[in-house]
Structure 1
Amino acid sequence: TNKKPSCVSITKVKQFHGSSAFAKRSQWTIDQLRQVNGIDSNKDCPEFDLMFENAFDQWVACSAGEKCTFIQILHHTCQRYSSAQKPDFVNCQSKLLGGNSILHSAADSVTSAVQKASQALNERGERLGRAEERTADMMNSAEQFSVTAQKLAMKHKC
């Protein structure tokens, strides 16, 4: 949607061992977020900390890659929807907070895929157009051949 949500929330969930269900543990609004601490920007680790207005919470993602994706989306969401002061992002890789992000890369790859598909469709349309022209020419030639064959058949009957 392009509509600004009335309230953006960060919800912490936990999956218990042996269960496929998730349980809601905590929830805060995006405006309560004060700091995101990636713990170590030089080391791939799934741990990170979030500091809220009245709380400090330690988080663990399923993987370092998932943590990076979460931090990048969180940063983008804060920049777009936070109405209060923007939170500080410390010890986070600069590529997650800058222009060459996973989000932009994904958008670029989608745009590229759409352009390639559009080009392929245009080329296919051109080939179909040429095939239709050749088919029409062949039908015309076949019709002329049929008329000529009928004339010859009538001529040799007499």
Structure 2
Amino acid sequence: MNIQSVINREVFAPRDERILVAVEVKRRKRKKVPFLPTGGKGEYMTYICLSVTNKRPAQLLITKVKQFGGSAPFTRRSQWSVEQLRQVDGIDPNKDCPEFDLVFDNAFDQWVASSAAEKCIFIQIMYHACQTYWEGKERVPGGLGSPAGDQQKDQRASPGAQVSPGSQGGQRGGPGAQARRKSTVGPRPRQTEFVNCQSKLTGDACTVNLVIYRCKVFFNRMKKGMVSKQSSPQVGAGHRASPSGQRPPGGSMGSVVQRASQALQERGERLGRAENQTVDLMHKAQQFADTAHKLALKYSN
């Protein structure tokens, strides 16, 4: 089970939400707090998640989830609605880069993803989810940008107001009624703006790009797992090793990659031994054939 499925099960499913995409991030400009000690206890992993509620009307939410000290539980730290998300900045519209910014009504976060492919997947899914959400809001009767909805708000805001003769037959009332209507209708929320994002992420025909980015993410994770296992220190004297001299297998991605690479190495060694034995047998068979030929020539004469 991957990290996104675990986060969905532990954080979003109990709140009747469904995760759409999650990306592991770190701050580009880390906040420095001089009076707080730094060390292993403060280490944590941060994920920016995009989720949607299961109940109708659906709400699109952006959530910051953290995992402290490599422990199993995930903690929900902050959450914003898509109405509070003002801007998504892709930093560079000409190439794949892991940096991106999220601008909210009350927050501005500068992030760097674990890889450029993961950031591209996150922005691509978020863009189409926002487009679908805002289009659904506009199609709802009386919803965002609907003239009928504005008229209903005006009528609910002034139930005791009398209808002027000029307002009958679809005509508007006098300047006083028009001023009251303008004062009761609040400002419409602005849609999320995507800037400095590549056109292949915000275009319509992007299914192939999404598959390519998912393949890149998979290979990057495999590569990181193999590198981390190769650079990890050997088992110390205070740790007990297994009878074969290996560390006990864990449930992480690195342990899975290690076991797979070990199995491939053992298989290669067995194939090498079989090849050497085959070469030896070929030499022995050639020697036997030469001896038999000499004996045949000797007794034929």
The TM-score with structure 2 as length reference comes to 0.31
Residue 77 of structure 2 aligns with an amino acid whose one-letter code is R
Q: Compute the displacement of 1:69 (Å).
A: 0.8
Aligned to 2:127: 75
Residue 112 of structure 2 aligns with an amino acid whose one-letter code is V
Moved over 4 A (4+): 1-5, 103-106
Aligned to 1:142: none
Give the Cα separation in 2 of the matches to 1:88 and 1:62: 24
Secondary structure at the aligned position of 2:201 is classed as helix
Query: CA 1:25 to 1:61, structure 2 compared with 1: closer, same or farther past 3 Å?
Result: farther
Aligned to 1:100: 205
Counterpart of 1:50 (choices 74, 86, 102) is 102
Query: CA 1:104 to 1:38, structure 2 compared with 1: closer, same or farther past 3 Å?
Result: closer
In the alignment, is the contact (CA less than 8 A) between 2:99 and 2:113 conserved in 1? yes
Aligned CA-pair RMSD: 2.8
Q: Compute the displacement of 1:35 (Å).
A: 0.4
> Which 5+ residue runs of structure 1 have no aligned equivalent?
107-158
Aligned to 1:10: 62
The TM-score with structure 1 as length reference comes to 0.56
Deviations 1:74-101 (A, max 9, x none): 1111111134422111111111001121
Identity %: 61
Secondary structure at the aligned position of 2:117 is classed as helix
Secondary structure at the aligned position of 2:93 is classed as coil
Q: Count residues in correspondence.
A: 106
Counterpart of 2:74 (choices 11, 22, 27) is 22
Q: Compute the displacement of 1:27 (Å).
A: 0.8
Aligned to 2:83: 31
- The structure showing larger relative contact order (alpha-carbon pairs under 8 Å, at least 6 residues apart) is 1
Secondary structure at the aligned position of 1:92 is classed as coil
In the alignment, is the contact (CA less than 8 A) between 1:10 and 1:29 conserved in 2? yes
Counterpart of 2:92 (choices 27, 40, 43) is 40
